Amino acid sequence: VRLIEVNENPKLNEPFKKRYKALKKFCFEFEDLCIHPAESEREMILEGKILNHCVSSYASQHANGKTSIFFIRHKEYPEEPYFTLEFNFNKMRVVQNRGFKNCDRTAEVKKKKKEWLSYVKEVVEKGKAA
């Protein structure tokens, strides 16, 4: 039902557009994976449906900046959900990182997440210095 509401009323997505604009500097590509922030509520709903987990329940918290949701994808299939990551910028840490049916990270995703986290910290530090 919410997906229909979001599709019929584009204004519902305005907070997501602002949030994406603020977070897109944390987009990251490495080897065969990429990470990007949630861009719309529709994207979060579909992510949760495909991966069979509850990421869509974080939609308003993400849009309002209380948490940050990022999607991990294979570069070959950028539209296909793979893993979902929740990040807390206040504590500078990953809160959770789950795949299909809330499965734990693969060794590959765990390694790439560490690289991404270093990148995020670097970007944040540069922002503080500016």
User: Residue-wise pLDDT tens for the chain (130 aa)?
Assistant: 666 676 666 666 789 999 999 999 999 998 899 999 999 988 999 999 999 999 989 998 999 999 999 999 999 999 999 999 999 999 999 999 999 999 999 999 999 999 999 999 999 999 887 6
Task: Say what the pLDDT of residue 42 is.
Answer: 87
Task: Say what the pLDDT of residue 1 is.
Answer: 62
Task: Say what the pLDDT of residue 48 is.
Answer: 94
Please give the model's pTM, rounded to 2 decimal places.
0.89
- Number of other residues whose CB lies within 10 A of the CB of residue 78: 12
Return the CA Rg of the chain. Answer: 14
Task: Say what the pLDDT of residue 12 is.
Answer: 65
Apex 51 CA angle, 48 and 52, nearest 5: 70
Measured between alpha carbons, how far is 22 from 77 in angstroms, rounded to an integer? Answer: 24
Task: Say what the pLDDT of residue 13 is.
Answer: 78
Beta strand pairing call for 33-37 and 93-98: unpaired
